[in-house]
Every structure is written in C-alpha cells, then in structure tokens.
Amino acid sequence: MDKRFQLLIFFVFIIGALVGGRLFWLQIVKSQVRDFNFAPETIIAERGKILAQEEDDLLPLAVNFKQYHLIADPEIIKEEDLVNEIAEKLAPFLEIKVPAENFFVEEDEAAEKFKSLLSRLSRSQSRYQLLRKDLSSSEYEAIKELALPGIFFQAFPKRYYPEGKLFSHLTGFTREVESRLQGQYGLEDFFEEELRGVNGYQVRDSFSLPVYRTLQRDEPGADLVLTVDRVLQFHSFKLLEEAVKKYRADSGTIILLDPSTGKILAMVNYPAFDPNQYSQVENMSLFKNSAISESFEPGSIFKVITMASALDAEAIKKESTFQDTGFVEIDGETIRNVDEENFGLASMTKILEKSINTGAVHVAGLLGKENFRNYLKKFGFGSLTDIELKGEASGNIDNLNQKQDIYLATASFGQGIAVTPLQMIVAVGSIANSGKLMKPYLVKEIRKGEQVIEREPKVVRSVISPQTAFTLSSMMSTVVEKEYKKRIKIPGYTIAGKTGTAQVPGPEGGYADQVIHSFVGFAPATDPQIVALVKLNNPREEKFAFYTVSEVFSELVEFVLKYYNVPPDKI
C-alpha cells in the first residue's frame, strides 16, 4: 500500500477519533455534568460523637447539629417584580423593616437597608450573595417553606457539648476552620483524624431549583465511647468544686482509676470551662488539663513509692526499725521532720503513719540512688503514660542524676522531683494491682459504622512483686486505720492511703508560702476496686492535707464503693 495513502488513512482515523470523542463529550459526559459552571460544593462529613457510660446507657458528651446560612443567586432573580417580592418576604428574617411605597422619596434608615437588600438581589453578574449567617432551625424551616426562586441555604456543622463544664478538660472543643470543625485540646484534638470523617462533594444540578448531584459521598467520623462513668464524673466534680471553695484553694484535681485495667473512671479539674462558650475564656491556661499537664512536687504521698521500692529490693523488711533523732545532716544541709518532731525508735509502718521525713531518707539511703532512680522509672516517673490526650507532661526526676546525696534524700519524701497527678495515681494503682503497672486509657471503644474496635487493657510492666504490693497495702491500711480514722470513715471497708502536704518551689529558688495538699489511696485494701487521687492547690483555710483532702477522699471513695455495690471486706 502506498505510504501516502497509509498516512491519509491515519489522519482520517485521528480526526474521526477526535470528532467521536467530542460527540461523546457533548452527548454523554456533558449531559451528566451539565451546569457544572457551578463550583462543586463540599459535603462536610458528620463528626463522630463522644459518648460516656452511665451504668448500661451511653450519654452524649459531644454531638452535632447544623446551622444554615441564607444565600441568594441574583442571576436567577432577574425580574424587578420578583426581586421586590423576595426582598419583602425575606426582610423580617434579616431584621429589615419593609418601608412604605414612597420610600424612595422619604428616605430613612429602614429605607436604606431595604434598598441595599434590593441592590444585592439585583446584581445579575453575581451568583452568590450571603444574606445572613446562622439561621435558627425555625427560621430555616420558615424560609424554606416560602420556596423562593434563587434562594438557597448553606449548611454548616456545629458542635454541642450537653454536659458543659463537667467533661470540658476531657473532650476539649472544636472551632470552625475553612467550613469544617477542627478539634482543639482534649479528645477532640487527639482523635481528630478518627472523628472528622471524610468529606464528600456535590454540584448543583439546576439553575432554577436547589437540586444537587452527589459526586462523592461523605463518610461520617467514628464515635468514641469513653471509660469514664458520667455519675462518677459528676460526683467527683461536685466534691472538688465544694472543696476548692470551702478551703479557698486556687484549683484542684480528682482522678478515679480502675487498678486492674487502667481505665480512667473520672478525671476532673476545677475551675473548668464551658466548651460551648470557649471563645469567652480569657485565660487560655484554663484549657489545659492539669491532671496530665501540671507537674508538682508530690511531698509525703511519695513516701509510699520510696517504701515500695526498698521493700521490693529487700533493702528493708516490714519489721525493720529506725532510730529517729528528729533531723539528719547531708551535704551541709539539715533535713527535719514536720514541727521538728523526734519519734525515737520507729518501724517502717510508723514512718508512713507519722510521715517521718528522716525515716524516708534512711530508707532511701539503704536502697541507694541508682536503685531508687531505676524503681522510679519502672513506676513511670519521668516519662509519659501515653494517655489519649495531648499536652501530657513527663514530670522530672533528673535530680537523681546528680552526684550529691542531698538529692536522693529530698526525693525520698517527694521534694526536688516533679510528677503529674496521673503519673502518681497510675504508680499507686500498680501497688493496688499486685505490682503490675497498667497503661491508663480513656477510650474503650471506637465505633465506625458497624465496626466496633474494642480497646483492651495493657500491662506496661511488673514494677514490684505481688508480695511487696500486699505488704505495702497492709502498711497503708494501717496508716489510715491509725492516723486518719477521724477523717476517713467508711464502715465495713479497709482503706489504704497516704496524705501529702508539699511546699511549692519559689520562682527564684527555695520554697514559697504556698502548699499543695494531696491524698492517694485505694479500696478495699484487701481487694482493690478503685484508686483515687485528690489534689488541692494552695488551700488557704488549713495548713495540712489531713484536714482537707482526706475528708474529700473519704466521701468520694464511699460513694464509689456503694455505687458499684462492692461488698465490705471488714467485719
């Protein structure tokens, strides 16, 4: 075949293909995407809900609703009579008074507003005029009922937190970013990817009617089901609020933990904020969850960690004794007991009972700095717990890397080191859990449509032996029985616990006049079902934690035991 003829056939084929393709576009594709001169609109995926447990029920903590913006398309509203009719019907929803017929002659403020509305509805070169934001549901339904040509609605997602302040430091909140909700703080931030879902897209399918064609379906976000019990959260918050006000404290924290699983059953801080009104918060530090982000010197509650470490390393026995002189000198520094008391011959249990600083120094000295530091790391101090919240602090035990013995001595009774409330309760939780440290967690299920992802408890490590845990539990219950019986009265139950009154470091070294009161413990001591931590920052009404947080702890734990119908363990 002649090459020129072959070339001619090739060009004919190419032209035919182009013509055929164009016809296919005109007849098939364009018919499917007609009117695509409207820009595709995003279908905002529904954000996943956050839910809390209340016995067998799930209660919403973060839910969604829609607000609507009122939109006009002047290209559709062309005739003057139609413009006037639409303006008059929409005016009441725009807080515009419809003036008398001669308003062009007798101009006033109302007339000016109405003329401005007419002008906006008459801009034939415009396809989008935002007339009003955030219509109420009743307003949206009323305008929709009018079926006005060229009038459309644009839906925007809104987030609502039914429990207000109660869960604010857990949920966080959302703010609108480019027409979608973006998580800020708390679970909203940590689980942003799971909660937000996948947006879809649609395009208007008609010039004259608000009919849309879906180009890509949206996928709703996953729901979070928390380990937190709403009843326990409410009761904890109520007790904490009352305690902060009663003792004129700056703030406070309560945490409830299931020691066998690591589930957080309640976590509250006071003061709190309303996530529905987050923009009205002036001090942004209020958004931080101090239960996980605020490091503090723990004071005497840390003596149980010192004692547990020494018992487990067999540096001491429960029956060991110590001769107290009321003070001890180390590296040129003098450490004294509270009120400079001298307890003479004291047992290990008495060191905890009377909160003897010199006794804790003695125990830590027998254990040794390296061993002590290693045990603190095993308990989780100086590192993150990896709870599902951003902003967690790791605390600080770096002083134990120093050569001087004074740092070991002060750390033994909770000075010169820093821990978070969460670290402290998780560490004590390991004592309640036969020596096993559990990873704390807040979300027990992630629900995505029909798929349910259950999150299982996780053992981080064994910190101390079961025997050590049992021995220390017995010692801590003796402390409560002998020292706190006037403040902790829970008939039928043995309670293990310890108070702490810690000084607050000053900005330029040394210690300020402020103190932190704390109590940490568990119940029943023979078969722990609950671990609780109560913390008050700078209470002004009482000097020692014995008079403040021990009473709050007692009320809280008694409520939890009754709520869970835990059988008594004491005759």
Q: Which domains does the chain have, with CATH numbers?
A: 227-276+292-563 (3.40.710.10)
CA atoms in the 13 A half-sphere facing the CB of 178 = 3
How many other CB atoms sit within 10 Å of the CB of residue 325? Answer: 11
Place of tokens 């820093």: 418
pLDDT in tens, 129-173: 888 988 888 888 899 899 898 888 877 788 999 999 999 999 999
Per-residue CA distances from 535 to 28, 150, 385, 419, 554 (Å): 70, 60, 19, 13, 13
Give the Cα separation of 311 and 364 in Å (integer). 11
Q: Does a cis peptide bond (omega within 30 degrees of 0) precede residue 524?
A: yes
Average pLDDT over residues 1-19: 56
Asked if the model's pLDDT at residue 27 lies above 80, the reply is no
The DSSP call for residue 450 is T
Please give the Cα distance from 185 to 171 (Å, whole number).
7
- Evaluate if residue 8 carries a pLDDT over 60: no
Q: Are 336 and 360 in contact (CB under 8 A)?
A: no
Alpha-carbon span 549 to 538, nearest angstrom: 12
Q: What percent of the chain has pLDDT over 70?
A: 89
- Strands 50-54 and 223-229, by their bridges, are parallel
In the predicted structure, residue 35 carries a pLDDT above the cut 50: no
Tokens of 350: 């008495």
The pLDDT-based confidence of 218 (bands split at 50, 70, 90) is confident
Lowest mean pLDDT among 119-128, 272-281, 460-469, 474-483: 119-128
d(CA 155, CA 202): 13
CA 253 centroid distance within chain: 14
pLDDT at 33 over 50: no
Instruction: State whether residue 375 is helix, strand or coil.
Output: helix
| Chain centroid to CA 385 | 15
Convert the pLDDT of each residue in 105-132 to its tens digit: 556 777 888 888 888 888 867 778 888 9
Confidence of residue 423 (pLDDT cuts 50, 70, 90): very high
Can you give the three-state secondary structure of 119-174, one letter per residue? HHHCCCCCCCEEEEEEECHHHHHHHHHHCCCCEEEEEEEEEECCCHHHHHHHHCEE
Rg (CA), the chain: 34
Judge contact between 263 and 224, C-beta under 8 A.
Answer: no
Region 548-567: mean pLDDT is 96
Question: What is the dihedral angle through the alpha carbons of 283, 286, 290, 295, rounded to the nearest 10 degrees?
Answer: 0
Q: Identify the H or E element spanning 89.
A: helix 80-90
pLDDT of residue 30: 43
Structure tokens at 462: 């064994």
- Quote the pLDDT of residue 558: 97
| Residue (of 542, 540, 498) closest to 518 by Cα position | 498
Q: Exposure of 125 by Cβ count < 10 A (0-12 exposed, 13-18 middle, 19+ buried)?
A: exposed
Stretch 295-324: mean pLDDT, rounded?
A: 97
- At 367-387, the pLDDT tens digits run 999 999 999 999 999 999 999
Candidates 133, 154, 281; CA nearest to 212 is 154
Torsion of CA 437, 438, 440, 442, to 10 degrees: -160
**What token pair was written down for 432?**
């309640």
Is residue 98 within 8 A of residue 91, CB to CB? The reply is yes
C-alpha–C-alpha distance, residues 207 and 426, integer Å: 62
Provide the 8-state DSSP code for 331.
T
The first and second tokens of residue 268, run together, are 């509250």
Average pLDDT for 8-37: 50
Residue 389 has pLDDT above 90, yes or no: yes
Q: Rounded to an integer, what distance in angstroms lies between the CA atom of residue 360 and that of residue 336? A: 11
Q: Name the residue with higher pLDDT: 46 or 409.
A: 409
Structure tokens at 165: 């302040």
Cα–Cα distances (Å) from 5 to 8, 9, 19, 500, in that order, read 5, 6, 21, 100
